[in-house]
Amino acid sequence: MPIVRSPIQRPWEPKSDASRGGRRLTGGRGIAVRCALILVACVLMACGSSPSSGSSPSTSSSPSTPAGSRASAVVTASGRVVQVAAAENFWGSIASQLGGVHGHVVSIITNPNTDPHTYEPTASDARTLAEAQLVIQNGIGYDPWVPKLLAADQGSKVSLDVGALLSLPDGANPHRWYNPTDVQAVIRMMVSDYQALDPKDRAYFSQRAAAFDTVALGPYDAAIASIKAKYSGTPVGASESIFSMLAPALGLQLITPPSFLKAVSEGTDVSVADKETIDNQIRHHLIEIYVYNSQNQIPDIQTQVREATGEHIPVATITETLQPAASTYEAWQTRQLLSIQSALQRANG
C-alpha cells in the first residue's frame, strides 16, 4: 500500500491559501548552562551579523521569520550559497540534501553519544548560529538554547522552528522527525526558505526537493508501506515516546502506557504501576515485538529488554540521532524500519 500524501504535502509545490522537552537542569548544571549562555551571547555580539538599526532578533515565535530584511545567499566562486545552521543532524541531513550546491549546512549536535535534551552550547555554536542565514531548530522544548542564542543575536535571519511550524504546544512530543507526515511539512518549509533566500535558484531547489522525495525517500516510503500492509494492528511495546511518532504511520498498535513512554523520554521517575503493566505485557506475550532507544538504556529499559529476550519476543532498536553520525536521514531511518520489519517477521514465524 503506497503512502498517501495530499497535494499540499509535496515540498516543491506552493502552499495553498485555503518534551521530553529537556531534562530538568538543577543545581550546578543549571548554573553552568547560564554561564555558558552568557559566554555565547558575548560571542554573538562580537561576531554576529552586522546589526541593523531598529531590527529585532529572530526567535522561535513563528515557524519561519521573513527573509526579506537579510541579504540573499552568499555569492562564492561556485555560485550562490545559503548558509544554514541546524541544531540537530537529522534536520541538517535533510537540509543539506535539499540545498545541494546552493546550501552549506552545519549541524551542531552530531555526536551519537550526546543527549540533545541536556546539550550545553559552546562559543563555537554561537558563532555557527551568528553566521547562518537560516537556522533550523526542533523547538517544543527540545533545544531551548537555540532561541536564547538567537535572542542575543543583533542580526536578522530566517528561523525555522519545527514545533511552531506544526502549531504544537509546549509539552507535546518533540520527536517529529519520526513522524513521516511532519517530515514532509518540514521539507516543504525548508524549500520555501531556501527559495526566499536565493530566489534566482528557485527552480534548482524545486528539482532537489522532487529528487529527494521520489528517489532518496523511496526506500523509506516503501518500507513504511510494506510494514503497514502486512502488520497493521499488531500490538507492540516500546521504551519511550520516540516510537510513539512512528508506530501509527506503520499501523502498529503501541500498547505501552503513554505515561511510561513520556517519563523515560523526559528523564523522570516511572511509576511502579506502569512497570508492572509492561512486565505483564511481556510475560503474557501481549506484545509481539519490543522497540527501544539504544541511546537511552536506563536500568528499567535494560530489565525490559532482558525480559523480552527471555520470553523470545523479538527486540528492535532505534536511536534518537543519526547513527552513525555520517549517515543520511533516509538511510538511517530505512535501516531502522527494516530492523523493525525483521523483528515482526520473526514474531510471526
The pLDDT tens digits of the residues spanning 216-254 come to 999 999 999 999 999 999 999 999 999 999 999 999 999
pLDDT of residue 140: 95
Does 169 lie in the same domain as 276? no
Band (31; pLDDT cuts 50, 70, 90): very low
Which three cell numbers, joined as nine digits, stand for 201? 535558484
The total of structural domains in the chain comes to 2
Based on the fold, state whether residues 169 and 82 are members of the same structural domain.
yes
Per-residue confidence (pLDDT) for residue 303, from 0 to 100: 96
Indicate whether 9 belongs to any domain.
no
Instruction: Report the range of poorest mean pLDDT among 41-45, 77-81, 247-251, 292-296.
Output: 41-45
The SS3 assignment for 326 reads coil
- What CATH number does the domain containing 258 carry? 3.40.50.1980
Residue 182 sits in the same domain as residue 196: yes
Residue 5 located in a structural domain: no
222 within 8 A of 273, measured Cβ to Cβ: no
Q: Which amino acid is at 153?
A: D
Residue 14 has a pLDDT of: 38
Domain end among 183, 215, 247: 215
pLDDT in tens, 172-218: 999 999 999 999 999 999 999 999 999 999 999 999 999 999 999 99
Residue 2 domain flag: no
Cell of 253: 498498535
CB 223 within 8 A of CB 341: yes
Question: Would residue 325 be called left, alpha or beta, if left means φ above 0 and alpha means ψ between -120 and 50 degrees?
Answer: alpha
| Degrees to nearest 5, angle at CA 322 with 302 and 267 | 40
pLDDT at 277 over 70: yes
pLDDT in tens, 284-342: 999 999 999 999 889 999 999 999 999 999 999 999 999 999 999 999 999 999 999 99
pLDDT at 136 over 80: yes
Do 201 and 86 share a structural domain?
Answer: yes
Q: Does 8 fall in a domain?
A: no
Are 204 and 341 contained in the same domain? no
Structure confidence at residue 45 as a pLDDT band (50, 70, 90): very low
Q: Is pLDDT above 60 for 7?
A: no
Are 87 and 226 found together in one domain? no
Considering the domain architecture, whether residues 74 and 204 belong to the same structural domain is answered as yes
With contact defined as beta carbons under 8 Å apart, do 258 and 273 qualify? no
Q: Measured between alpha carbons, how far is 180 from 183 in angstroms, rounded to an integer?
A: 5
Asked whether the beta carbons of 133 and 229 are under 8 A apart, the reply is: no
- Same-domain check for residues 225 and 299: yes
Asked whether residue 250 falls in the same domain as residue 178, the answer is no
Give Cα 295 distance to the centre of its chain. Answer: 15
Higher pLDDT residue, 209 or 41? 209
CA-to-CA distance for 175 and 242, rounded, in angstroms?
A: 6
In a domain, 31, yes or no: yes
User: What percentage of the chain's residues is helix, strand, coil (to nearest 5)?
Assistant: 50, 10, 35
Q: By percentage, how much of the chain surpasses pLDDT 90?
A: 72
- Asked if 166 and 73 sit in the same domain, the reply is yes
Distance CA 153, CA 60 (A): 13
Q: Identify whether 10 is part of a domain.
A: no
With 50 as the cut, is the pLDDT of residue 35 above it?
Answer: no
Mean pLDDT of the chain, nearest integer: 83
| Domain boundary pick from 189, 215, 241 | 215
- The structure's pTM equals 0.81
For residue 1, being part of any structural domain is answered with no
b/e per residue, 84-116, with b = 16+ CB within 10 A? bbbbbbbbbbbbbbbbbebbbbbbbbbebebbb
For residue 152, what are the contacts with CB-CB under 8 A and spacing of at least 6? 37, 40, 41, 44, 45, 57, 126
How far apart (Å, rounded) are the C-alpha atoms in residues 334 and 344? Answer: 15
| Least confident window among 57-61, 110-114, 193-197 | 57-61
What residue numbers bound the domain in which 58 lies? 19-215
Q: Is residue 3 part of a domain?
A: no
Residue 86 has pLDDT above 50, yes or no: yes
Same domain, 168 and 236: no
Task: Give the residue from 215, 231, 253 where a domain finishes.
Answer: 215
Assess whether 137 and 177 both reside in one domain.
yes
User: Is it the case that residue 149 has pLDDT exceeding 90?
Assistant: yes
